[in-house]
Amino acid sequence: MKVFRVTGEIRKPNLETPFKKEVLAAKPEHAVEKVYAEIGSKHRVKRYYMKILKVEEVSPEEIENPILKKMVAGE
């Protein structure tokens, strides 16, 4: 499993918010699906209001999320 950083923005009619999320996934496509599912369920945002700008693989030294950092170090 690899760590991906997904960057994008939520574009609702009255709200425009950028986001950056790190997720553990096998492929970039799986990382995007996971971000859609997590943000959609936590913030009640439909997929068509989210725009993914960039998906990049992150090396273990560059991981910002402390939980993911421990998971990767423990593997």
Q: What are the DSSP calls for 5-72, one per residue?
A: EEEEEEEETTEEEEEEEEEEESSHHHHHHHHHHHHHHHH---GGGEEEEEEEEE-GGG---HHHHHHH
Per-residue pLDDT of the chain (75 residues; tens, 9 = 90+): 899 999 999 999 988 999 999 999 999 999 999 999 999 999 999 999 999 999 999 999 999 999 999 998 886
* pTM score, whole prediction: 0.89
Domains and CATH numbers, the chain: 2-61 (3.10.20.10)
